[in-house]
Amino acid sequence: MAEFRHLENGLLCIAGDEHLLLTPWGTNSVRVRIARGHMPVDTDYALLSPGPQAPALHIDDGEASLSVGDLVCRARQHEGGVHLRFEDRSGRILLDEWSAPGPQRHRAREYRPLPDGSFKLNVAFAGCETEHFYGMGQYQMDILDLKGCTLDLSQRNTQSSVPFYISSKGYGFLWHNPSIGRVTFGTNEILWESESSLQIDYWLTVGDTPQQISSQYADAVGHAPPMPEHGLGFWQCKLRYSSQDEILRVASEYAARGIKPDVIVCDFFHWTEMGDFRFDPAFFPDPKGMVEQLSEMGIRLVVSVWPTVSTESENYKTMQKRGMLIRPDSDGLYSMFFADQKTLFYDTTNPEARDFVWNRIRDNYYTLGIRDYWLDVAEPEYSVCDWSRWTYREGPGLQVGNLYPQAYARNFYEGLRSEGVEKPISLIRCAWAGSARYGALAWSGDISSTWESFRIQVCAGLSMGVAGIPWWNSDIGGFSGGDVRDPAFVELLIRWFEWGAYCPVMRLHGDRNPHHEIRHPVSGKVCMGSGADNEIWSYGDEAYGIFRKYLDRRQAMRPYLRSVFDEAHRTGVPPMRPLWYVFPDDPLCTNLRDEYLFGPDLLVCPVLEAGARERRVYLPKGTWTDLETGRSYAGGSTITVPAPLDVIPVFRRG
């Protein structure tokens, strides 16, 4: 028999050794926690405290209901357990637990005990043939509607698992569980799987529009901070500027051409040893003076930080002794082998480790005037990617591994706020739920310089925005494989650059061929090399003219960008919006993945095929004006528009 109890913070259902706690958690939202053998525990991995709420609660013989605004949660006794169903106010079923029929069926909730006292968990909900799913973060696939997909819930270089989706049925769902696992969005079932967890934990919200759902989700996990002014402009980057002189030469050349990048990025291996968190004085003899010279030109310096601590680092022994490094399950196992160095990642889930690292960053970078950081390898990127072999302060890697990038962003956000920085953002290579509130400006990692990869990034950016990560960008031109001497790559770079003008942050980066060797000026040792030049004048006169055109266009958009970014900060509505998000009743928008709205008024249609000089564009309802030609078109139709090499089709609403 199931027992239902009215608690001060919601509804408790007990059936055998299973305890189900349903708690109001924000407007039209509920949090569900289910544990075996004990009461569910309160974790704050991503969800913020919702404050006191007074739900409508009704308990009857064998069943109970809890109503929070427009969301109704129904719990009923069912075959020795408790069955959960979620409806809107009209009684329409949003999500319904599902058990497969048959004598050996799997149940909606399955627990397989593990030796450490945790469980391998499965949670299943009934599928719906007409339902569509969007969000879930960044996966390298040219897919927007996730129906039929199975996704790994794990972090990788180029992959950010952010387990929140919006359904075409009008609800949003957060899997509030940082464990390693997977999810399947099938027609027969939606199946969540965890490799190791102490309890089931998820959050559900309902809304009349996707925008309302995004806002309620942002309220639950935290809003992105305001985008600072330098986030609106152009970021210059390459692998890698190896010295102070090189950075200042690039900045001076931009100034001579009458161009002001908002940011120049100083990439990795500018340091002494990995984990020292400071400049190598042989290459950067006066970093404070460098920052001041850049500032006089109106340019901010962003500095790369890796979480790797080499066994040769001056900080390694102290951090290892004090438990500030992620712990392997055996001696001699290291987190990452890179450039002939053995390293362990610092444990971002450990508050003491976060304080230690921020103190080094403050002393060695912040005091020089550096306020912005590039948090690379943020997944973290294990050389031996077996999550069961690593232990964090927060728990075993299998249980909490996906939390790492969020805690990494938190480290720098809290450090910068403690120093009085009002709008901290950090360029970071991965994200999880709640990362946005810590100023995470995610990028899509070390992607290839190919047309296929270019097409994928459009879906990646849109899915990240829907998953609640509004500040996003990709390496313009891709990271690896581009050759500055190859006309085919230059065409790809031009098209990517045009699209970059209509991404939340416009950042040119890449590891370009051909490479060149760098030697240490003191020791003579061969250092980490550098790719070819990657400035806008590095690709010939035709490309340079096109790059200038879109830099001017980005500059002219700044008032519009401020408005769009302010809306994202206040409401959680992302700058990059899939067409289904704005026009959910238009069936032609359901899986339209090669065009999107940038803010409320700009329809962006990147050219994603080599050699293309025109493209087909679907115009949703309304009137749309081509920014290039000034011609207006009625919506609800598909047109073909010219797209010469210097044109990305963009239409203004109205």
Partner residues linked to 182 by β-bridges = 152, 193
In DSSP notation, 139-178 reads: -SSS-SS-TT-EEEES-BTTBEEEEEEEETTSEEEEE---
Q: What's residue 284's pLDDT?
A: 98
The identity of residue 336, as a single letter, is M
Q: What's residue 101's pLDDT?
A: 67
Q: What's residue 99's pLDDT?
A: 79
The token duo for 235 is 């970021």
Q: Write out pLDDT tens, residues 95-109.
A: 999 976 665 556 899
DSSP class of residue 307 equals S
Cβ neighbours for 495, distance < 8 A, ≥ 6 positions apart: 454, 606, 607, 608, 648
Cβ neighbours for 161, distance < 8 A, ≥ 6 positions apart: 136, 137, 151, 152, 153, 154, 155, 402, 432
Is the whole-model pTM more than 0.95?
yes
Q: Tell me the CA distances in angstroms from 146 to 60, 181, 271, 588, one per residue in order.
A: 38, 17, 42, 16
**Quick one: pLDDT band at residue 455, thresholds 50, 70, 90?**
very high
Q: What's residue 9's pLDDT?
A: 85
Average pLDDT rounded to a whole number, residues 440-463: 98
| Residues 402, 316 contacting (CB under 8 angstroms) | no
- The answer to whether residue 445 scores a pLDDT higher than 90 is yes
Could you tell me which CATH number the domain at 3-221 has?
2.60.40.1760
Which are the catalytic amino acids? Answer: 376, 379, 446
Q: What's residue 69's pLDDT?
A: 97
Cβ neighbours for 653, distance < 8 A, ≥ 6 positions apart: 600, 601, 602, 603, 622, 623, 624
- The answer to whether residue 612 scores a pLDDT higher than 70 is yes
Q: What's residue 8's pLDDT?
A: 86
Return the percentage of the chain with pLDDT > 90, whole number: 96
**CA distance linking residue 422 with residue 537, whole number of Å:** 35
| Residues 500, 234 contacting (CB under 8 angstroms) | no
Q: Write out pLDDT tens, residues 15-55.
A: 999 999 999 999 999 999 999 999 999 999 999 999 888 88
Cβ neighbours for 317, distance < 8 A, ≥ 6 positions apart: none
Q: What's residue 102's pLDDT?
A: 63
- The answer to whether residue 236 scores a pLDDT higher than 80 is yes
Q: What's residue 93's pLDDT?
A: 98
| Residues 106, 100 contacting (CB under 8 angstroms) | yes
Q: Write out pLDDT tens, residues 458-484.
A: 999 999 999 999 999 999 999 999 999
The label of the residue with tokens 């050389």 reads 383
Q: Write out pLDDT tens, residues 286-334.
A: 999 999 999 999 999 999 999 999 999 999 999 999 999 999 999 999 9
**CA distance linking residue 544 with residue 556, whole number of Å:** 18
The token duo for 262 is 């908002």
Domains in the chain: boundaries = 3-221, 576-653
Q: What's residue 222's pLDDT?
A: 98
The token duo for 357 is 């690292």
Q: What's residue 407's pLDDT?
A: 98
- Our CA angle for 215, 219, 221, nearest 5°, is 115
Q: Write out pLDDT tens, residues 53-88.
A: 888 999 998 999 999 999 999 999 988 799 999 999
**Would you say the CATH fold of 576-653 matches that of 3-221?**
yes
Return the percentage of the chain with pLDDT > 70, whole number: 99
With residue 357 as reference, give the H or E element that holds it: helix 351-364
**CA distance linking residue 246 with residue 470, whole number of Å:** 33
| Residues 248, 287 contacting (CB under 8 angstroms) | no
Could you tell me which CATH number the domain at 576-653 has?
2.60.40.1180
Q: Write out pLDDT tens, residues 163-194.
A: 999 999 999 999 999 999 999 999 999 999 99
Side-chain half-sphere exposure of 648, counting CA atoms within 13 A: 30
